[in-house]
Amino acid sequence: MSEPRLSTTSHIVLGLIEQIEPATPYDLKRLTAQSISNFWTLPHTQLYSECARLADLGLLDEERESGGRRRRIYRLTEAGHAALGAWREEDTPATGELRDAALLKLFLGADPVHLAKAQLDAHHRKLAEYEELTDVEMPKGMRLALEAGLSFERSYIRFWESVAGGAD
């Protein structure tokens, strides 16, 4: 039998469940909105379908509530822990993917000063959100990701300030 094909979404689900297990897909949706969605786009519908798929593959244990809303509750299996651990050990490409609609508009001829003003507002708001989290206790990996987010926002603020000032 061949190894099951796991996507980045698969590993996100496994990693999030590891953080908060037991977890329902709704728990994952809430945690994603507060964390990963700051740097990785993931439609919440994928969380629901991926949990079921990973359970079918034996990477998650699924328990169904007997009454009420009959929510599905998931925990990692030994195989799920092993798959997540193996993924963590894999080499990661040196660069990530940057998808920024404002940069795309800038590249394609939008008014730079007008665009910069809106971007400055947005990046100042996001920086303030991240700064509020600096006093929250969290695992080291989450703390380091937060620091990357803070650095990113500060860098973008400097960039868009230079654009707003008409710098070439």
**Predicted local confidence at residue 2, as pLDDT:** 60
Domain ranges, residue 148: 101-164
**Predicted local confidence at residue 81, as pLDDT:** 95
Checking if the pLDDT of 42 tops 90, the result is no
Mean pLDDT along residues 154-166: 93
Residue 3 domain-assigned (yes or no): no
**pTM exceeding the 0.85 threshold for the entire prediction:** no
Q: What confidence category does residue 70 fall into, taking pLDDT thresholds of 50, 70 and 90?
A: confident
Are residues 49 and 120 part of one domain?
Answer: no
Judge contact between 160 and 112, C-beta under 8 A. Answer: no
Which of 89, 110, 143 is the last residue in one of the domains? Answer: 89
Which of 89, 118, 134 is the last residue in one of the domains? Answer: 89
**Predicted local confidence at residue 96, as pLDDT:** 74
Residue 56 domain-assigned (yes or no): yes
Task: Classify 118 as helix, strand or coil.
Answer: helix
What are 77-106's pLDDT values in tens digits? 999 999 999 999 998 877 777 788 899 888
Are residues 107 and 131 part of one domain?
Answer: yes
Residue 96 domain-assigned (yes or no): no
Residue 2 domain-assigned (yes or no): no
Checking if the pLDDT of 75 tops 90, the result is yes
Checking if the pLDDT of 135 tops 70, the result is yes
Are residues 121 and 82 part of one domain?
Answer: no
Per the structure, the count of domains in the chain is: 2
**Predicted local confidence at residue 5, as pLDDT:** 87
**Predicted local confidence at residue 66, as pLDDT:** 80
Checking if the pLDDT of 168 tops 70, the result is no
Are residues 72 and 145 part of one domain?
Answer: no
Residue 95 domain-assigned (yes or no): no
Tokens 């937060």, located at residue = 146
Are residues 115 and 144 part of one domain?
Answer: yes
Checking if the pLDDT of 11 tops 90, the result is yes
Q: How many degrees, rounded to 5, is the angle at CA 135 between CA 131 and CA 137?
A: 125
Which of 42, 64, 89 is the last residue in one of the domains? Answer: 89
Are residues 113 and 76 part of one domain?
Answer: no
**Predicted local confidence at residue 123, as pLDDT:** 96
Mean pLDDT along residues 119-127: 96
Average pLDDT over the chain, rounded to an integer? 90
Q: Where are the alpha helices (DSSP H) in 90-111?
A: 101-107
Q: What percentage of the chain exceeds 90 in pLDDT? A: 66
Are residues 158 and 107 part of one domain?
Answer: yes
Nearest to 160 by CA among 125, 100, 98, 113: 113
